[in-house]
Structure 1
Amino acid sequence: MAQISIVQAHSLSQEQARAAAQQVADKLAGDYQLACKWDGDVLKFGRSGVEGALTLQGQRAEMAITLGFPMSAFSAAIETKVADKMRKVFA
């Protein structure tokens, strides 16, 4: 299993940060066929072999992803793609 952790600082309002997080989730859902669901300020997502959460905390967005064995081979590419998307939408 592989763990991915990304922290992105931002200066967005809570509403704007939530919209930005949703954009990241929509991209992940489309690319990796993930189901996404909000639980307060935490956007949880997953499917077989992938689970994670994007947590909004003040002026930070924290992404934590756990990849099962088959997906762990792609962890570097996934981390790069997600970090780039987060940097763009939370800018």
Structure 2
Amino acid sequence: MASIDIQHPHSMNPAHARQAVQDIADKLAERFGVEYRWNGDILDFTRSGIEGRIALLPEQLHVSAQLGFLFGAMKGPIEAEIRRVLEERFS
């Protein structure tokens, strides 16, 4: 099973950072059928073949995910897209 582990700095206040993460989660749900739920400042997400979380910390985001067999083969492009979105939304 492949895994993704990304730490990305941000300088947003907590409310703005949470809204930005919520916007990302909404798009993932709409485009890819991802289910998610907030657990404090951690957004847990899942769909067939992917299980992960986005931890909203005071000055950084921590994205971690476990990829099943099929998604594991696409780890590079998936990780690159996550980094691109984080850079776009949080830099």
Check whether TM > 0.5. Answer: yes
Instruction: Give structure 1 regions of 4+ aligned residues with deviation exceeding 6 angstroms.
Output: none
Q: TM-score if structure 1 supplies the norm length?
A: 0.92
Aligned length: 91
Normalised TM-score (structure 2): 0.92
Deviation at 1:30, TM superposition (A): 3.1
Identity of aligned residues (%): 36
Distance of 2:31 and 2:82 partners within structure 1: 11
Partner SS, residue 12 of structure 1: coil
Contact 1:23 1:89 in 2 (8 A): no
Structure 1, unmatched stretches of 5+, are none
* Paired residues for 1:17-36 under 5 Å: 17-36=17-36
Cross-structure match for 1:83: 83
Mind listing any 5+ residue stretches in structure 2 that lack a counterpart?
none
**Rounded Cα–Cα distance in structure 1 between residues aligned with 2:76 and 2:23:** 21
The alignment's C-alpha RMSD in Å is: 1.1
